[in-house]
A and B are shown apart, each in its own frame.
Chain A
Amino acid sequence: MRRDRGWIALAAIGVGLFLVPVLWEVTDFAVFYLVFLSGILFWVAQATSWNILSGYSGYFSFGQGAFYGVGVYTMAVLFGRHGWNWLLVILIGGVLAMLLGLGIGALAFRLSSLKGEIFALLTLAFPFILAGIVRLFDAIDGGQGVVVPVPSFPELLAPFQKFYFVLSSVVALLALTVAYLMHRTRYGWALFAIRDDEAAAEGLGVPTFFHKMIAIGANGLIGGLSGAVVALNLGFVSVEGTFNLTVPLFVIVMSVLGSRNHWAGPLLGAVYIHTLQNRLAAGGFEGWSLIVLGVILVVLMLLAPEGLMARFTRRPALAGGVFVGVIATLGLLRVWGDPVSWLAAALGAVVVVAFLPGGRTAEKRSEETSVGRGASVVLGEDLPAPLLKVGRPIVVAADVAKDFGGVHALRGVSMTVAEGELVGLVGPNGSGKTTLVNLISGALTPTSGVIELDGTESSALPPHRIAHLGIARTYQIPRPFTSLTVRDNVAVAIMFGREPRRLDASRQAAGEYLNLVGLGGLAEALPGQVNLHERQLLEMARAMATKPALLLLDEAMAGLNPVEIDNAVEVVRRIRASGVSIVLVEHLLRVVNQLSTRIVVLDQGLVLAEGDPGVVMKDPAVVKAYLGRQTDAPGD
């Protein structure tokens, strides 16, 4: 496991920012550099806060301008027009923007249809709406713009540029700290899981709504704080100047360029873009600025679609060394340019270095740490007995029906699953098996009928609560979190399971479940690198990690060859032996026969027969239902 050194970088940044004004007092370098750095820090705060929502959770937002604008106008009106205390106003600006974010979240996150591009477009509307409101009310702006005078600040922080630098640093550091901490704790990991597969995450016990609200709340808060601070430097605030597309677009550019997956990605993007823009404006590139910027954007996005940080972390020592080296050399020689030019040159050099072939890619790193893969997975020790009572009913479904428009997937199914059972759920295609699984796991709600889980009626519960009641499920087509390693997939399930643990403890504990299913040797691989069978085993391990009372296995053997099937059967046995009850949805009748204590046969949305496997499978009605509609499944 990689040891986390991020906190060192964060601390270094904090210390560095603290030292800058001190250095300035001592060496008296041009005050412009404080202003230049403040500019970068503004973008760091905005881009990082955007990334907390959009990069981490995948909910792409075009609305950063709304949070920024709320902050700016709060300062303009409360301080600029009414003379309130600027510190108080900064906090108010942050809180108001946060409330806006929570409002948007409450609106958007409740509706499952509002994902992806729809969410992005929804957020795009808000800066325009806010612009309209601000224009409409003379008390806020009315269109003429608002003058923001220079505040009075403590003598210690004089002159203004230093004062502003300190404020900018505080907000930027706050942003980076929040992003970093989220990256290291469940708050961030919930978002990564949501990004990769929200439904699967919810099914594992991640309270997705709650965590998305935290993300958008943080986004709003920091965006608003930063906006309020920058208003002090703008001097004059206008609707067109505040609510245009610059902020929304550039936070996206910076975060994507830097890397959306890393807490310091937006920081990197902000440094690059701001430095570049400054050089282009001041460097006499008349008629070329936008061309150069555009070309660089295009080229970098094509060469490094996952962002620059992803590239730099392949050879961090070299990147860091080149950066420091170039700046030091240019600084000492002093024959060319000025500090900002040196910075630009160093950044350019690092990019060139980063794109040299070689280096440790994420794939290589995981390959290095994986033990060699044999033809089959290796099953480890048995798990200790779990925490369950004996024999009570876990699932009671009473006359459950589910319609999809005109399609009656289930017409009235009643069944029970009791502790200790391994119930085989079989039936021809379209009989409603997966629908029933979805109903039990809470992914769907019944059209009519009642499902009780451990005595509690479940139709009003969100899937993550059902998971906490002890129901886990796997998917027929595995849905791992593709950007997380095998180990981390399981760790997420532990972090949000019935006995939640912290990140490092979860990663540790994940090993046990991997051993249960035999994936111990592939712990550091990415799901994309393992085969179908291994991914299905991962599904099982992940589900087991939530410590369920009941595991719903939805066609876990689909697409496997006979050897793999045997292995899977063995794993299911081990799972059962650990005391977890199982509902096994399967087409492979020999497997069902081998494993089940009881069989339930569904046909056209109704229970056709149930009972002992040997007896039921000879029932003429069952035989007719099968043979009349399909031949035996392949592999049988």
Chain B
Amino acid sequence: MRRRAPVVSLIAVLLLVITACATDDSGGSTTEAPGTTGPSTTGAPGTTEAPSTTAGGPSGEPIVVGGTLALTGGLGPTGVIHQIAGQLFVDRLNASTGLLGQPVEWNLVDDASDGARIAELYEQLISQDQVDLIIGPYATPNILAAMPVAERHGYVLPQHTSVLAPAMTYACQFPGWSIGPEPNVFIPNQLADALDSLGGSVSTVGLVTNEGGSTSFVSYGPADNDEVQATDTILPERGYEIVADISYPIGNTEWGSVATELQDADPDIVVINGLGLEANGLIEAMDQLGFDPPMVFALFPAPGAVLSLGDLTDGVLSVSIFEPNESILAEMDPEAREITEEFSARVEEAGLPYTAFETQAAASWNTWEILTQGVEGAGSLDQQAICDYLHENGADLTFSGHVDFDPEVNNFWPTTQVLKQVQGGDWVVVWPEDSAASPLQGPAG
């Protein structure tokens, strides 16, 4: 029994060494985005490095912004994008004026996609680490878990990915991504507008929905209230018959069955109100079946996921609040272009497959801008003052223009959402026409 201990210790050391080497040798581990420190041995809360102050730059005690993100676990793939975007923002801020003249530190904690830990981690950031400001986590369920904690302590909660307006009841919650107060009404109407412009070549719809929070809400409205309009009622009203109505759980693998059912129904457009890689799964299954629907719409795919399927996904539609299309960038501040290019460089260095600065990253940028503008506008770190300032003045967002926050609609500003389409292997904005970088392409074949 005693002889075990040396062997076991040896194994433990070996394991640690192996994994340490694996970590260090990696070309660019995603969790080590430039500017972050490695493992801390003193147990102090993980912080990001405040760069050495340059003359004329921010100086003094750093202002600490606390928050969690899903850096590992099921939500990891998109969480890391927000990490890189946020880090870029902080670095640029520190390279220029800082916040209230002081440098900013981002105390970022990995919540491992576990909603049950969110409350404790935010409590820790707020009441133990005593961060000056907070910023929300990734994905709607986690944001909903953080909200009561923020409310309890009276902290302003800027968040970048929950569009589920009716649920976001905290008055000092500010969304970086808004599809308006009624995404369940806006999205189907926007889509119907776009389809109308195709002059009747599309008339039937196959509706496929992820049963989770925001996507299901967009398709059906709230689960316990049939009165509320949503995709399933609005599209038919607009003249688009729903010939297949399928919903699936998160983690679904039965794309073959869904594709088979769709093939039988043969709709002109398949509307996939799903997340992440789900649209990929379905598109591939349909392709294997030999079923090629004239049009496909995917609501919230993971950035770049749809593009990775090559030619197969030409013409797929989705929603966006920003795409770095040339014609769009040309009309914006040169700063916008700078940001997108720097972001792409960092993402590539980190080894992520898709490098464009698109809707998720833009949402993150919006959120940080809301936070910092609120602080600058209030002139202090007083949460109530920040909240009041934002309510009274709104914010000026690089990628979404000026937005106002009306507490009556839970601060969800009138959306600037556009429709994008895969053309020539890239996402381009196609609708509304006055924002489009390229015209909407109709049904293939």
Query: Which residues of chain A are near B53, meaning CB under 8 Å?
Result: none
Q: With A144-B211, A145-B212, A287-B29 known to touch, is A235 a contact of B43 (CB < 8 Å)?
A: no
Map CB proximity to A onto B149-163 as digits: 1 under 8 Å, 0 otherwise.
000100000000000
A240 touching B250 by the CB < 8 A rule? yes
Query: Which residues of chain B are near A246, meaning CB under 8 Å?
Result: 114, 116
A337 touching B43 by the CB < 8 A rule? yes
B19 within 8 A of A: yes
Output the least CB separation between B309 and chain A (Å): 25
Map CB proximity to B onto A137-173 as digits: 1 under 8 Å, 0 otherwise.
0110111110100100000000111000000000000
Stretch touching chain B among A179-187, A298-306, A454-462, A603-611: A298-306
B247 touching A344 by the CB < 8 A rule? no
B71 within 8 A of A: yes
B23 within 8 A of A: yes
Question: Which parts of B11-41 form the interface with A (CB within 8 Å)?
Answer: 11-12, 15-16, 19, 23, 29, 31-32, 36-40
Output the least CB separation between B128 and chain A (Å): 4
Closest to A291 in B: B19
B305 within 8 A of A: no
Query: Which residues of chain A are near B114, meaning CB under 8 Å?
Result: 241, 246
A160 touching B152 by the CB < 8 A rule? yes
Query: Which residues of chain B are near A344, meaning CB under 8 Å?
Result: 43
A143 touching B223 by the CB < 8 A rule? yes
B111 within 8 A of A: yes
Closest to B249 in A: A135
Query: Which residues of chain B are near A30, meaning CB under 8 Å?
Result: 127-128, 130
**Residue of B42, B72, B119, B167 with highest tally of chain A CB at under 10 A:** B119
Q: Tell which of A33, A160, A238 touches B128, judged by Cβ atoms closer than 8 Å.
A: A33
B12 touching A138 by the CB < 8 A rule? no
A283 touching B222 by the CB < 8 A rule? no
Q: With A144-B222, A233-B119 known to touch, is A289 a contact of B110 (CB < 8 Å)?
A: yes
Cα distance A159–B39 when bound, in Å? 35
B81 within 8 A of A: no
A281 within 8 A of B: yes
Query: Which residues of chain A are near B45, meaning CB under 8 Å?
Result: 282-284
Cα distance A235–B126 when bound, in Å? 17
A286 within 8 A of B: yes
A281 touching B223 by the CB < 8 A rule? no
Map CB proximity to A onto B105-128 as digits: 1 under 8 Å, 0 otherwise.
000011110111101110110111
Map CB proximity to B onto A337-348 as digits: 1 under 8 Å, 0 otherwise.
110110010000
A287 touching B31 by the CB < 8 A rule? yes
Map CB proximity to B onto A29-66 as digits: 1 under 8 Å, 0 otherwise.
01111011001000000000000000000000000000
Query: Which residues of chain A are near B110, meaning CB under 8 Å?
Result: 281, 286, 289
A284 touching B123 by the CB < 8 A rule? no
B217 within 8 A of A: yes
B121 touching A282 by the CB < 8 A rule? yes
Query: Which residues of chain B are near A159, meaning CB under 8 Å?
Result: 152
Output the least CB separation between B257 and chain A (Å): 16
A279 within 8 A of B: yes
Stretch touching chain A among B1-9, B88-96, B261-269, B384-392: B1-9
Output the least CB separation between A602 and chain B (Å): 47
A290 within 8 A of B: yes
A404 within 8 A of B: no
B401 within 8 A of A: no
Q: With A236-B144, A238-B213 known to touch, is A32 a contact of B126 (CB < 8 Å)?
A: yes
A357 touching B2 by the CB < 8 A rule? yes
A355 within 8 A of B: yes
Cα distance A230–B72 when bound, in Å? 23
Q: Tell which of A160, A234, A299 touches B116, judged by Cβ atoms closer than 8 Å.
A: A234
Query: Which residues of chain A are near B40, meaning CB under 8 Å?
Result: 283-285
Cα distance A100–B63 when bound, in Å? 51
Query: Which residues of chain A are near B47, meaning CB under 8 Å?
Result: 284
B117 touching A281 by the CB < 8 A rule? yes
Query: Which residues of chain A are near B111, meaning CB under 8 Å?
Result: 281
Cα distance A138–B46 when bound, in Å? 41
Cα distance A479–B356 when bound, in Å? 69
Q: With A31-B127, A142-B223, A287-B23 known to touch, is A234 a contact of B4 (CB < 8 Å)?
A: no
A81 within 8 A of B: yes
13 further contact pairs, Cβ within 8 A, besides A138-B223, A246-B114, A281-B110: A235-B148, A236-B144, A238-B213, A240-B212, A241-B115, A285-B39, A285-B40, A291-B19, A295-B16, A299-B8, A337-B44, A344-B43, A355-B5
- Please, could you name 16 A-B residue pairs with CB atoms under 8 Å apart, sorted by A? A30-B130, A143-B212, A143-B247, A145-B144, A235-B147, A236-B115, A282-B121, A284-B44, A287-B32, A289-B112, A294-B15, A295-B12, A299-B8, A302-B4, A341-B43, A355-B5
Residues of A within 8 A of B (CB): 30-33, 35-36, 39, 81, 135, 138-139, 141-145, 147, 150, 159-161, 230, 233-236, 238-241, 246, 277-279, 281-291, 294-295, 298-299, 302-303, 336-338, 340-341, 344, 355, 357
- The 8 nearest A-B residue pairs measured at CB: A284-B46, A143-B211, A236-B144, A284-B40, A32-B128, A32-B127, A142-B223, A35-B123
